[in-house]
Amino acid sequence: MSMMKIEVIDRRTFLIGAGASAATLAALSNLAHATPDQAAAFLAKLTGGAQPAEGKVKLVMPEIAENGATVPTEVSADSPMTEKDYCKSISIISTKNPKPHICTFHFTPRSGKAVAKIRVRMAETQEVWAVAQMSDGKWYIGKTTVKVTIGGCGG
């Protein structure tokens, strides 16, 4: 039978270690957020450099999100959804989440409507974009800003 050796550390050593860990986590959390420039770069890559026009895309999110862990989001594109004229996809892009690309929904004329709902996790106040690709190759964009608060206060 072997005996385990338990090492006791003093309070000062513990606090120094805890402080270093907290500083490391804070530094990593700052690195883990996308920037508006990264979101713009992702948008350019997605559209092949085409500049999306405003309109045809509706992005519905609350103006103030009391719980950033589950922000209700609805996207839709104004499209007849016929064989010759339909919305192919809608992508949601964040300007401050860990990665700019949140998700992409794909549609066909058989979808009937270009509408999708999702819950998005957001750590802080940011702008969110919905970008739709149409069957004729045109791109459209809708934008909104969501203020993330803690318990509905401040932010």
> pLDDT tens, 14-30?
667 666 665 555 544 44
Which tens digits make up the pLDDT trace of 32-49?
578 999 999 999 999 999
Sign of the C-alpha dihedral computed for residues 152, 153, 154 and 155 taken in this order: negative
Q: Domains along the chain? A: 33-148 (2.60.40.2470)
Banded pLDDT at 150 (limits 50, 70, 90): confident
Exposure b/e, 128-149, CB count within 10 A at least 16 = b: bbbbbbbbeeebbbbebebbbe
97 three-class SS: coil
pTM of the model as a whole: 0.77
65 - beta bridge partners? 148
